[in-house]
Amino acid sequence: MGFRRVVVTGGAGFIGSHVCEALLERGARVVCVDDFRTGSPDNLPDHPHLGVAPGDVTRPIDLLGDVDLVLHLACPASPVDYLRMPVDTLRTGALGTLHALELARRKGARIVVASTSEVYGDPLEHPQREDYWGNVNPIGPRSVYDEAKRFGEAAVEAFRREYGTDTGIVRIFNTYGPRMRPDDGRVVPTFLRQARAGEPLTVHGDGRQTRSLCHVDDLVRGLLAMAESPHHGPVNLGNPHEVTVLEIAERIIALTGSTSVVEHGAGMVDDPKRRRPDISLAREVLGWEPEISLDEGLRRSFAPHPVG
């Protein structure tokens, strides 16, 4: 890896902490900027080449010294998290991304910004390709996340066009693995926690909605491939293996040997009904595709390192 000093915003979160670890393993110096609202310093290794700069990215990011690469991940990502802090999520997605872009511009660094499959909303095209513009309800509860991320993409493209900033956008699809908070509300940590406790698995609605789950080790490889590539994207990063939420519940019950049952509750407002990435572009320009199957990934997620 050619990067000497990398800033990772949101580095104390689930994906960010795996990114920091991978960068340190590759010999980079890493500065993690995070205010720990959904992450924790406990997620980070004690390493001489890792610095932690506590701070909120909705304020300008002032750092001394050279920076080659900014990986901008800071943002609440679980629906439960962003629905309980709607205005802050808008601020983070909008102001936070502008500040990360300003930092990259000032330092002459490449920046890769974490966008999301949620920019496709409740998609009318399936699977989702990068040239699909999406189907987002602009005033629904999820819009605080979806529209902030869409604004973020617009900001990235504006900096590239106006200032020639070296930018990249990755659209991350549902990712899971060790260090998700057991109470973060997302489907895998929730079902694993419930299955382990012998409690009912709380399926929202009929459970026929689909997701395509990517293990975090695969995702981090893709993200770093994007950092090293000159491509500006957006590029989808996710595992194209599509499953229903009901199947996720059944797989987790089977894999944990739990006695839990499935309990259907109310559906979430504007919950996307189908989601699967078309990863042709990532295969072509990054030479990347996921390698970890769902069963293998789930096994890795509860042993030896439990999710959360």
Q: Which of 8, 114, 201, 223 binds ligand NAD (CB under 6 A)?
A: 114
Q: Is 287 left (phi over 0), alpha (psi -120 to 50) or beta?
A: left
Stretch that binds ligand NAD, among 33-41, 128-136, 259-267, 281-289 (CB under 6 A): 33-41
Task: Return the one option of ligand UDP, ligand NAD, none that residue 256 interacts with (CB less than 5 to 8 A, by type).
Answer: none
Binding to ligand UDP by residue 211, rule CB under 6 A?
Answer: yes
CA distance 222 to 281: 12
Site string for ligand UDP, 62-91 (x = CB under 6 A): ----------------xx------------
Residues 225-284 that bind ligand NAD (CB under 6 A): none
What's the closest the beta carbon of residue 47 comes to ligand UDP, in angstroms? 30
Q: Does 199 bind ligand NAD (CB under 6 A)?
A: no
Residue 127 engages ligand NAD in binding (rule: CB under 6 A): no
56 binds, among ligand UDP, ligand NAD, none (CB under 5 to 8 A by kind): ligand NAD
- Among 6, 39, 233, 288, the residue binding ligand NAD under the rule CB under 6 A is 39
CA distances from 184 to 73, 166, 246 (A): 17, 33, 19
Please pick, from the candidates 204, 251, 280, 285, the single residue that binds ligand UDP as defined by CB under 6 A.
204
Instruction: Answer whether 2's CB lies under 8 Å from 12's CB.
Output: no
If 0-12 CB within 10 Å is exposed, 13-18 middle and 19+ buried, where does residue 87 land? exposed
Q: How far is CA 203 from CA 22, 122, 246, in A?
A: 34, 18, 7
Query: Which are the catalytic amino acids?
Result: 145
Residue 58's binding partner out of ligand NAD, ligand UDP, none, with CB under 5 to 8 Å set by partner kind: ligand NAD
In the bound state with ligand NAD, the residue whose beta carbon lies nearer, of 225 and 258, is 225
Which contacts of 61-65 are long-range, i.e. CB under 8 A and separated by 24 or more positions?
A: 61/7, 61/9, 61/33, 61/99, 61/100, 61/102, 61/103, 63/7, 63/31, 63/33, 63/103, 65/5
Angstrom distance (rounded) from CA 55 to CA 62: 10
CB of 239 to ligand UDP, least distance (A): 13
* Residue 284 partner contact from ligand UDP, ligand NAD, none using kind-dependent CB cut-offs of 5 to 8 Å: none
Query: Phi, psi at residue 279, to the nearest 5°?
Result: -110, 25
Q: Is 103 in the site for ligand NAD (CB under 6 A)?
A: no
Q: Applying CB under 6 A, does 93 fall inside the site for ligand UDP?
A: no
SS (H, E, C) 16-82: HHHHHHHHHHCCCEEEEEECCCCCCHHHCCCCCCEEEEECCCCCCCCCCCCCCEEEECCCCCCHHHH
In one letter, which amino acid is 285? V
* C-alpha to C-alpha distance for 253 and 104, rounded to whole angstroms: 45
> 211: which 2 tokens?
């997701």
**Smaller CB distance to ligand NAD: residue 35 or 217?**
35
For ligand NAD, the closer of residues 14 and 302 by Cβ is 14
Which residues between 12 and 31 bind ligand NAD (CB under 6 A)?
12-16
Residue ranges in contact with ligand UDP by CB under 6 A: 78-79, 174, 185-187, 190, 202-204, 209, 211, 245, 268, 271
Residue ranges in contact with ligand NAD by CB under 6 A: 10, 12-16, 34-39, 56-58, 73-77, 81, 92, 96, 114, 116, 172, 174-175
